[in-house]
Amino acid sequence: MIVIFDLDGTLIDSAPDIHATANAVLADEGLEGFDLATIRGFVGRGVPALIGQMLAARGLEDPARAARMAENLVARYEDAVGLTQPYPGVEAALDALRQRGDVLGVCTNKPAAPAHAVLRHLGLDRFFAGVIGGDSGLPRKPDPATLLKLRQDLGGGETAYIGDSEVDAETAKLAGLPFLLFTEGYRTTPAEELPHRALFSDFAELPGLIRALG
């Protein structure tokens, strides 16, 4: 089976690094920063959306400024790994899935370079046969284009998608793929209200849930 994961809020708790980077970009613009919970709520739709939400929350709408801030954030992003950690049990679950013959991939709205950088930093890159980011040239999630492209690149066939958020649930629904929802990530909607095949809060549960899919 092909098993494709979201990254931020699913495999890794990267909100502290995103928070620090976002606030550094705001400081460069002379703007006040946000607390961690607020930035966590902005994560999931890619860099342009993150910048747009931050500016909107400050009552600002300035496309040129937004573009400059996005460029600044991306330039800082690849080195923003020091505060990020995998969720407990992630490495063991990935190892179990790979040992049973599953093909693993990552589909994220994070740009590809920082996605690869953080996976390398955490020693998780060895598990994945493919990674596609939000700067692939295809529409970002919840459009299913990147998820379906990665599925094709990994050989096609039976596929499950694992994520943590409203964006991920909608992506899987639009792609017509079974969705397994990790409940400890960055969503704001109650888990039961999101479309899913299964819920899990502990990565030790994941290999069994994948086996149950077939």
Active site residues: 6
* Bridge partners for 198 per DSSP: 180
- Report residue 165 CA to chain centroid gap: 9
Give the Cα separation of 204 and 182 in Å (integer). Answer: 12
Percent composition of the chain: helix, strand, coil (DSSP 3-state, to 5) = 50, 15, 40
C-alpha separations of 1 from 15, 88, 156, 159 in Å: 30, 23, 9, 6
Distance CA 203, CA 187 (A): 17
Beta bridge partners of residue 160, listed in sequence order: 3
Question: What is the β-pairing status of strands 179-182 and 159-163?
Answer: parallel
HSE on the CB side for 66, CA within 13 Å?
A: 17
